[in-house]
Structure 1
């Protein structure tokens, strides 16, 4: 059953305004009185089905549009460019200031655009799919595209804005000259699937308005990668003309529709043309009822999106951005194959960890790059495999996801997991009595594979596991084995607790606009009490120091040997070792609610390192208090759910070889120190012993 998004009167009023049709004209076309139409428009009555069909015919829309109160599809000829006039006070903008925050390179575009796609991931276990598609157009193919984008409207404005005395003007002039000289235009399409899409109304707050209408408005919170609203500007900065077209499939309907919401935005500096001053920005769309010098997005037909290179591959929600006149501002990639390689390398370098999946967990991201020339394949779709580009680091993250890390390195194939504390600071908007505590980040250390050309690095990441920073660890032990280290902080630790969310927020405010380090920023200073900067510095220092300790301990376990490493490995005689415990069980997730009796009902997922003997654990519910430590409470009932059973002494016995298990529990309200609704809860798991009765 279709849910109607608005009443018929609102739908009809909007269509009459957009068609510039009076109530009297509609009455004549449908064979009813003007009073009847007035009743429909004002909601006093609704027409019967046969009259709805007549109304649809009169307005030139599908009957389904009228019945379901949805916005009609607009043909391409109704779309045009709307340019914003210059302000009356004579103010001038030399371009979009947000675009100047980045180097206009394909490396930056791939990093920023993919981060935005990850931040918009829909709920569910499926990864976000991101596809980068290059199209080189020449000849008749190029002319067809220029006609579709109404180049005859755009070019005069581009010429007027291409003032060689201004930075943006010089880029525009170079782009126009290059197009004329070469007869070649490169389009770069960035698609994401299983993402939210540009939902929301045209002008009020929502994803659409934040991306298409506004500047420096992020609207993100929680574990989102971006926080400045700058990432989208990298798309426009990578266009020689500041021109990006958009087609979006929405996860939430708008105007009763979800597919092919199309628009475009042009970012120019102030310019004068034909005696009129223009502010710079322009939008591609249909006429906005009641508004001048602007254009609304429109619901396009399939043929129009194909002509604009915006037809999406499937119906999954997400957005396609088409960068018109794409180029690499660094000057290092000009040919199609070079641009293809730059995109591949940037995605692999920045998002390898997001593309790693585990035995029980799918990756967060799948990314690919392809290239076409006039519709003919130049580079087939290359799906990026993180284990090819970052074998050691990818192996480390996979071991963490699978729960196979160890607490002590005894073999080259193992991955060590250790804790690194991040001291949290109180936010200025929090009560002075709050003690934010300490967050334990996860450090992974793996011996580098032989093909690893750049070992001895540590990679910092949080949230979506995009690499925030990668640097070489200094002051390492003499003769140490080459390694790779990964520091997972905040929600990248896969823990759900107050300290995890607090760490995520703190690190997010410590990232500059490029999101390429954790440092002192204005946001950090404005948000946190004094000392937050030092906590960040200490955190990074502690991570590197922990790496050094791991390497020293590892070297002490084995005597110093001489000769090439290959020969040492061949001649090494290791003494037999007893099976070792590989790490410690941890709570992966706690979900629950407080019932009518005041008891917490929770479902708990436990991650288990592999070992020969089955795990036997005791689980304790803990009430969390920021002013003090966690307070243990009692279970009223514990029920095994998956991979475990309950012993006679109330402990949880997990199946042999299991790497995860689930159980549910109900707390005893009589043991609560405070009302359950006033508390937060966590669950602590520890090794248990069984005693004979």
Structure 2
């Protein structure tokens, strides 16, 4: 049995769908190798079988040329694919595809990345099942069937990056199933390409751009054209051998990214450079899972094999030591290497169906750093049950003197790690809440659409209280005896330019205390999109006052002092009802402005800057105009 490509057809009115997918791929191409490694490993880690063995993931980089390349392309039925790819190249969205095809032809080489996991579930589920591993990874776009309490997320972005990192938008899967669902004759092989929507040469047929490589059944065009299905058993084995995609005798999935490239790289990295970077990223973002023995990662090239070993990357030992030394926690951080921990409350609100409310806890574990431990010093790793670091929260500014530290914030099923205790029912509820609080990139805990659609009032306060509570707790643990003077809302109020200021800058004669506001703000750099993201909530301290206007500017810093250099605000939004949003220019730089309806006593907002390739430290400056209620 030989595999072939089949492409779905559509009526002309449906033709935009394929172009929209291609545009999404192009606009999302700046996610970088970090996102690719995080998402791929997260998928394998989530699919681990419930036993004592780790999920084993191998990244295998190969460059094919000569006879090896010719035989590979023949097995891939490249001629059928090329007929459609050439038509797709003529569309607006097909430029990157044409460039990749031209490069491969000129160089006579093709780089292939195979990601092979073992001791995982495999691609379970029928070809057209509503929810299954198979449909989530192979057929659906940006949706996920993950239902485990520790799964990495619910958006399925991981599978989208597979095609984004293929210059030909082509990915092939070969899977050994852990159970006979839907069949017991593994392996199961299928490929998918995502091309822009295109028309046949005669213009009579519109192809959606979605093509599948497998056992193709021809159907009339009114029934959708060719119906591609998986190859099974010996037929799959034969094709897998020719595609260099054969599997070991262990449940799991092998994913092959054809013409692997990093969209953001200015130059194509060689295989040794790619292997080293993949290994480093695996350690950086999955050291909790690796440390606990739940995940093993290796990277192979033709010349070398690297293992993501914590022994080979001692930079992360301060974090693993924090977990190891939890049973020996002390009351104060007197000496280097001392570990202290403190609970942080998290009040999870009820869901829309009134279930799931709990007074939960996170655990902040802090270790005082040795003088030579500088990597990610004064950062807190946010971790839950999936075993992936969601975010490294930079808290360098809370350090007083030389009391440097490394911290781990453990939530959900991860909260009792290192204590010997099992997760509680409350931990399970927190795990579900934190999972819903992760955006598609799974790179922070914040207000998301999933939270908004699942939980009732109070979810935003709960999730946005985590970072301020971590900061306050760190201050008490790292330097408990330092007098910091005024803190909290009063200190925040003093930072703001607040008052019933006229447009020409003339302030009213009201007392300063009547014009103060309270609230919290946060700004951090998003490495996925190379921009700053910010959020805040403000309200007058005096209940007799209301907010008239809020403006947000982004000031670049120089040696802890703000400069006159401003970074444009690219977007800003608010969940507060009745707030009008605008992005006017001030001195030629775009800022954010929120104009509330009369009587508004508090405003929440969030937004982002334009792309900042310089990555200069930037401060969020919030100006709030308040006035007595009822004043004109």
Structure 2 length as normaliser, TM-score? 0.69
Partners of 2:28 and 2:153 lie apart in 1 by: 14
2:276 aligned residue (326, 329, 341): 341
Aligned counterpart for 2:210 among listed residues 281, 284, 296: 281
Which residue among 313, 331, 341 is the counterpart of 2:265? 331
1:307-334 alpha-carbon deviations (Å, 9 max, x no partner): 112112x222110000001000111543
Change (3 A) 1:141 1:266: same
Partners of 2:124 and 2:182 within 8 A in 1: no
Q: Secondary structure at the match of 1:351?
A: helix
- Specify which of 381, 405, 413 is matched with residue 306 of structure 2: 381
Residue deviations 1:175-217, cap 9 Å, x none? 1011011111111111111111001111123211222222233
Pick aligned residue for 2:150 from 223, 242, 258: 223
Measure how far apart 1:300 and its partner are.
4.3
Flag the 1:90–1:524 CA change in 2: closer, same or farther, 3 A.
closer
Deviations 1:380-424 (A, max 9, x none): 233432653412112223334xx4444443442332222111121
Q: Distance in 1 between matches of 2:216 and 2:404?
A: 62
Task: Confirm or deny: 8 A CA contact 2:173 2:256 kept in the other structure.
Answer: yes
1:365 equivalent among 295, 298, 303? 295
**Larger radius of gyration between Structure 1 and Structure 2:** 1
Q: Is the 8 A contact 2:54 2:119 kept in 1?
A: yes
Structure 1 equivalent of residue 351 of structure 2: 427
Question: Residues of 2 paired with 1:232 and 1:327: CA distance?
Answer: 16
Residues 549-599 of structure 1 show CA distances to partners (whole Å, capped at 9, x for unaligned) of: 11114999xxxxxxxxxxxxxxxxxxxxxxxxxxxxxxxxxxxxxxxxxxx
1:244/1:299 Cα in 2 relative to 1: closer, same or farther (>3 Å)? same
1:451 deviates by: 4.1
The correspondence for 1:259, drawn from 158, 181, 186, is 186
CA contact (8 A) 2:382 2:409 kept: yes
Following the alignment from structure 2 to structure 1, what is the Cα–Cα distance between the partners of residues 103 and 396?
47
SS in 1 for 2:249: coil
Q: Quote the RMSD (CA, aligned, Å).
A: 2.3
Q: Does 1:468 align with 2:390?
A: yes
Give the TM-score of the pair, scaled to structure 1. Answer: 0.63
d(CA) in 2 for partners of 1:259, 1:452: 49
After superposition, where does 1:176-255 map in structure 2 within 5 Å? 176-205=101-130, 206-221=132-147, 222-254=149-181
Which of residues 313, 320, 334 is equivalent to 1:394? Answer: 320
The correspondence for 2:80, drawn from 131, 153, 172, is 153
**CA distance in 2: counterparts of 1:197 and 1:340, whole angstroms:** 25
Q: What is residue 116 of structure 1 aligned with on the other side?
A: 43
2:615 counterpart residue number: none
Structure 2, unaligned stretches of length 5 or more?
417-421, 484-632
The one of 465, 479, 487 aligned to 2:409:
487
DSSP 3-state at the match of 1:549: helix
CA distance in 2, matches of 1:523, 1:440: 21
**Cα 1:279–1:398 shift into 2, 3 Å:** same
Residue 140 (structure 1) shift: 1.4
Q: Distance in 1 between matches of 2:288 and 2:389?
A: 8
Are the structure 2 counterparts of residues 254 and 454 from structure 1 closer, same or farther at C-alpha, using a change threshold of 3 Å? closer
SS where residue 281 of structure 2 aligns? Answer: helix
Equivalent-residue separation in structure 2 for 1:281 and 1:256 (angstroms)? 25
Task: Give the drift of 1:102.
Answer: 5.8
- 2:582 matched to which residue of 1? none
Output the CA distance in 2 between the equivalents of 1:263 and 1:300. 12
Which structure 2 residues correspond to residues 283-682 of structure 1 after superposition, within 5 A? 283-288=212-217, 292-301=225-234, 302-312=237-247, 314-332=248-266, 333-357=268-292, 363-371=293-301, 377-385=302-310, 387-400=313-326, 403-430=327-354, 436-449=357-370, 450-494=372-416, 495-553=422-480
Task: Extract unaligned runs of 5+ from structure 1.
Answer: 1-74, 358-362, 372-376, 557-693
Shift of residue 138 of structure 1?
Answer: 1.3
Aligned residues: 462
Secondary structure, aligned partner of 2:129: coil
